[in-house]
Amino acid sequence: MNGSRSVHAIVYAGKNLLSQTLSSIIQFRPGKYFASGYWPSAPRFGWSSSYRSCAAFAYRPYLAAPVLALAGIFALAGCGKEGSDQVKIPQATEMENGAESTEVSVQSMFPDQSWALPMENMGPLQGSPGITAKDCSTCHASHYEEWSRSTHAHALSDLQFQSELSKPTSPEWLCLNCHIPVGNQRETIVRKVKDGDLLQPVHEKNPRFDPSMMEEGVTCATCHLRNVDGRTVVLGPLGTGRAPHPVVADRKSLQKRCLDCHNVTYKVSSSLVCFFDTGNELAKSELSDRSCSSCHMPELERKIASVAGDFPERRSHLHYFIGGGIPKEFSLLPYQEKGGYRSGLDLSLVGYEWIPASGTLRFTIRMANKDTAHHLPTGDPERFILVKVIAYPTSEKAEKSYRIGQHWEWEPEARQIADNRLRSGEIRIWQDEMHLDEPPQRLRLEAVHVRLTEKNAEYMENTAARTNEKYRSRISRLRQHYPRQRIIHSEDILLGSPLD
Ligand code: HEC
Ligand code: HEC
Ligand code: HEC
Ligand code: HEC
Ligand code: HEC
């Protein structure tokens, strides 16, 4: 590996910006490889308090306001007024007495947006004790085990979600349409709002409400159950003809289901923007023929039903739905590797040059989005990757960082102002320099994938009082429970000595 890396460095260096003098200055001697960008064996979490020069804050001045400006997927601008801790509690009784106000149907407000309403209620499934994930687990034990560790299974209990849901400016009922999407998971269904105001939903009691299913987040039924002519059927990829429940085999539709939630770019109001573009990113990439499941649900051969009987092994798929490798609880960390986590960032030091006269260290870093099929990072606009170069012996001046992510402006109107994420297949060169008092002996090249900044986590802790009682105490100590980031690359490189 060492050999091929230095060959690569020199071959590449011939084309880079330092090319005038490069062949003589490349002194690449790869050092110990702590964790490669791929399949790191020992994931580690860092805390951004250790950043002395966290670029994130410099890029996001609005964070200085006492508000959570970047609210997960939904950017709730206008939340500058929400300094107080007023609690907004949805009231199922709010509906009937709307004599003077006009009720507007949600469907007319969001034409062709399937997520504006929850899925319809499902009836019983013939051959199964019920339609909850627990019910499916009686015959699909492995699928259940895997799914129960996934972010999907935690889409309601997610502490960050609960925190954002509690903001006075959050239209909770709308948020829940993707986080607990099946009708049966909903105590009330919202089909209309008063005066077209998203914060004045008209709640209808749901007779089919199942509280245990509510807890299951993006549950099996979300992707697998359909109402066909008043009968509940299972949408499956195979069509084995051996299931006790009715099956409609349609692998393509099942695979496309992801896009209903992961490909929604919509301005709900001037201050509320839904921005998931992962499906479009994939469509524009060279890997456009791939399905989301081809990477996020690794394939394997196994029996797909854990029931007695002569069932052969079939083409199956892991159900952990691993993404950026940062789970919703520390205890779920071990399942990231099991579920097939790999980083999409391919990072390397291509070359460096020490100029003794001015005490300048110049370096060239190569950053590539490899085999990811979509932007890196994708999804939630708050996410970013921070690439850092640290020279040793270290000092204030001996650190440089590069942020890969988006920037949004929330006032007066939500708007993306910059986006330097790595496109699928993109290779980018970062060239920079440091001015040091003494020649460096060693460089550390590091990358951290950040899901939630320290500052936003702190804000959430401080506003825990308004959150649902069930999650409140954990949210008040969010940082102890919620992994915010992950070191995805950490490499020490010994520099040729002496440098001067
Ligand atoms: C009583 C046992 C039982 C229960 C409960 C059950 N299944 Fe199945 N399921 C099976 C068997 C058996 C098969 C066929 C296995 C085979 O052919 O190898 C199957 C097949 C499937 C398939 C593949 C269908 C295909 O042919 O493409 C899916 C998807 C599936 N089940 C989902 C579910 C879901 C979701 C639930 C819960 C709502 C559920 N099952 C509940 C026994 C069950
Ligand atoms: C009904 C909406 C919905 C559908 C359909 C859906 N997802 Fe998700 N997905 C979510 C939500 C909501 C989250 C995040 C939950 C949270 O973080 O609180 C999520 C998170 C994820 C993540 C991130 C996991 C992580 O580690 O953070 C991946 C990867 C993912 N989904 C893949 C898929 C794939 C693949 C499909 C299709 C097979 C799919 N999703 C279908 C709603 C959906
Ligand atoms: C976010 C969507 C989603 C959720 C949630 C989900 N599945 Fe699946 N499932 C899929 C997709 C997509 C496939 C087919 C993948 C392919 O063929 O590329 C699949 C395949 C299957 C199969 C067929 C065999 C296999 O492994 O490919 C079974 C059985 C199954 N799922 C059961 C379950 C059960 C049980 C649950 C809940 C514990 C569940 N699924 C939750 C999307 C989902
Ligand atoms: C060719 C493989 C591939 C395909 C196809 C693919 N992904 Fe990914 N995806 C990845 C990899 C690799 C990562 C991890 C990137 C990282 O964090 O370094 C990832 C990460 C993610 C994440 C987490 C983002 C984050 O920053 O934490 C989500 C969500 C996601 N993918 C959704 C999808 C959806 C939805 C689709 C289909 C539209 C899809 N992916 C298709 C490879 C793929
Ligand atoms: C169109 C479907 C949809 C709606 C509506 C929706 N979400 Fe989500 N949400 C998602 C998906 C998909 C993800 C996972 C995205 C990813 O991992 O890239 C997610 C993830 C999240 C996360 C986790 C972010 C992270 O980085 O882990 C939070 C918090 C969240 N949503 C809050 C909300 C709030 C608050 C609302 C209502 C204002 C809302 N969502 C409405 C689909 C939706």
306-321 burial, b at 16+ Cβ within 10 Å, e below that, comes to beeeeeeeeebbbbbb
Asked if residue 311 and residue 170 are part of one domain, the reply reads: yes
What is the DSSP secondary structure assignment for residue 94, as one 8-state letter? G
Q: What's the domain range around 304?
A: 92-317
Q: Within 6 Å (CB) of ligand 3, which residues are found?
A: 133, 136, 140, 143-144, 147, 152, 218, 220, 222-224, 236-237, 251, 254-255, 257, 291, 293, 297, 304, 316-317, 319
Name the average pLDDT for the chain: 81
Whether the predicted pLDDT of 320 surpasses 80: yes
Tens of pLDDT, residues 327-340:
999 999 999 999 99
Contact 317, 299 (CB under 8 A): yes
pLDDT in tens, 410-447: 878 888 999 999 999 999 999 999 999 999 999 999 99
Please tell me the number of the ligand nearest to residue 221's CA: 1
Ligand 5: residue whose CA is nearest its atom 24? 72
Q: Which of 291, 317, 343 is the last residue of a domain?
A: 317
- Ligand at minimal distance from the CA of 489 is 4
Same domain, 191 and 303: yes
Please tell me whether residues 248 and 356 are part of one structural domain. Answer: no
Share of the chain above pLDDT 70, in %: 79
Which residues approach ligand 5 with their CB closer than 6 A? 72-74, 115, 160-161, 164-165, 170, 174-175, 177-179, 261-262, 264, 274, 276, 323, 378-380, 383, 451
Q: Let me know whether 68 and 101 are in one domain.
A: no
Beta carbons of 476 and 415 less than 8 angstroms apart: no
Q: Is the CB of 405 under 6 A from ligand 4?
A: no
Tell me, yes or no, whether 251 and 104 share the same domain: yes
**252 vs 70, higher pLDDT:** 252
Please report whether residue 130 resides in a domain: yes
- Please give the backbone phi and psi of residue 251, each rounded to the nearest 5 degrees, phi first: -65, -40
Q: How many degrees, rounded to 5, is the angle at CA 280 between CA 429 and CA 272?
A: 100
Q: pLDDT value at position 497?
A: 52
> Does residue 83 belong to any structural domain of this protein?
no
What mean pLDDT comes out for the span 370-398? 94
Residues lining ligand 2, judged by CB closer than 6 Å? Answer: 151-152, 155, 158, 161, 178-179, 181, 218, 222-223, 257-258, 260-262, 292-293, 296, 321-324
- Say yes or no: CB of residue 449 within 6 Å of ligand 4: yes
343: CA distance to ligand 4 center in Å? 9
Q: Say whether both 169 and 245 belong to one domain.
A: yes
Q: For residue 365, which amino acid is it? A: I
Residues 310, 356, single domain; the answer is no
Q: Name which of 2-6, 30-34, 94-98, 449-453 the model is least confident about.
A: 30-34
Residue from 125, 126, 128, 293 to probe ligand 1 pocket by mutation (most atoms less than 8 Å from CB): 128
Nearest ligand to the CA of 346 is 4
- Cβ-contact 411, 80 below 8 angstroms: yes
Q: In the predicted model, is pLDDT for residue 283 greater than 90?
A: yes
What is the number of the ligand closest to the CA of 148?
3
Question: In this predicted structure, which of 35-49, 110-124, 220-234, 404-418 has the lowest mean pLDDT?
Answer: 35-49
Query: pLDDT at position 272, please?
Result: 82
Among 251, 257, 263, 297, which is best to mutate for testing ligand 3, by the most ligand atoms less than 8 A from CB? 297
Domain shared by 62 and 116, yes or no:
no
In a domain, 100, yes or no: yes
* pLDDT of 268: 83
126 pLDDT exceeds 80? yes
Top-confidence residue, 82 or 276: 276
> Atom 1 of ligand 3 has which residue's CA nearest to it?
223
| pTM reported for the whole predicted model | 0.87
The pLDDT of residue 419: 96
Please determine, for residue 77, whether its predicted confidence score (pLDDT) is greater than 70. Answer: no
Percentage of the chain modeled with pLDDT above 90: 72
Å from CA of 139 to ligand 1 middle:
7
Is the pLDDT confidence value at 225 over 60? Answer: yes
Residue nearest to atom 43 of ligand 2 (CA): 261
Q: Quick one: 298 and 438 in the same domain? A: no
Between residues 57 and 183, which one has the greater pLDDT?
183
Closest CA to 142 of 305, 294, 296: 305
Q: Is residue 79 part of a domain?
A: no
Compute the distance between CA of residue 225 and CA of residue 284 in angstroms, rounded to an integer. Answer: 30
**pLDDT for 37:** 24
Residue 366 lies in a domain: yes
- Pairing type for strands 299-302 and 314-317 reads antiparallel
Give the residue, by CA position, lying nearest to ligand 1 atom 38: 131
12 lies in the same domain as 42 = yes
Shortest-distance atom of ligand 3 to CA 255:
12
* Ligand number with the minimum distance to the CA of 225: 1
Q: Is the pLDDT of residue 23 over 50?
A: no
Q: Is the CB of 294 under 6 A from ligand 4?
A: yes
Residue 349 shares a structural domain with residue 409: yes
- Residue 87 is assigned to a structural domain of this protein: no
Substitution site in 162, 321, 378, 450 for ligand 2 pocket (most atoms within 8 Å of beta carbon): 321
Residue whose CA is closest, atom 38 of ligand 4?
A: 279
Q: Is residue 357 located within the same domain as residue 408?
A: yes
The answer to the question of residue 325 being in a domain is no
Last residue of one domain, picked from the residues 317, 345, 362: 317
CA distance 102 to 340: 51
* Highest-pLDDT range among 10-24, 64-78, 97-111, 229-243: 229-243
Number of domains in the chain: 2
Q: Residue 99's pLDDT band (boundaries 50, 70, 90)?
A: low
pLDDT at res. 411: 78
Could you say which of 317, 352, 387 is where a domain stops? 317
Nearest to 232 by CA among 152, 137, 119, 141: 119
Residue 85 lies in a domain: no
Residue 374 CA to residue 371 CA, distance in Å, equals 9
